[in-house]
Amino acid sequence: MKIEGGCHCKRVRFAVDVAEAVEVLDCNCSMCAMTGFRHLIVPHEDFTLLSGAGDLTSYRFGTDAAEHLFCRHCGVKSFYQPRSHREAWSVNLNALDDPGALAITARAFDGRNWEHAAAKL
């Protein structure tokens, strides 16, 4: 099914093609725990940026492998390029317009011990 989402101010908008039943990763790393990011992994080919490419700003830390993308106006990170899934975007389930349309299963991801947890993905 196709579902849209984006940032708070609506400048950044995207669409994703996902199954009606999805799994999200609930990560406890310092970044995700502070922001409430819930990871819906979407292959690059199933993600379309509808608007706002010029409104995104990038932040990298640690290994610099992940590219965290934020709306430069409202500060919301609705999706980013994770280091764990180089072929996909990590979309914030909370940034979808209607996440209630999906059957969601959550799996804990121990991002505080990233290397160990990523090896189990």
Q: Quick check: is 113 in a domain?
A: no
pTM: 0.92
Per the structure, the complete domain to which residue 70 belongs is given by 2-22+40-107
Structural domain total, the chain: 1
Q: Quick check: is 86 in a domain?
A: yes
Does the pLDDT at position 38 exceed 90?
yes
| pLDDT computed for residue 115 by the predictor | 85
In the structure, what pLDDT confidence band is assigned to residue 14 with cuts at 50, 70 and 90?
A: very high
Digit-coded pLDDT (tens) for 41-89 = 999 999 999 999 999 999 998 888 899 999 999 999 999 999 989 999 9
Q: Which residue has the tokens 């979407």?
A: 42
User: What's 60's domain CATH number?
Assistant: 2.170.150.70
Q: CA-CA distances (angstroms) from residue 47 to 11, 15, 27, 30, 104?
A: 17, 6, 21, 26, 19
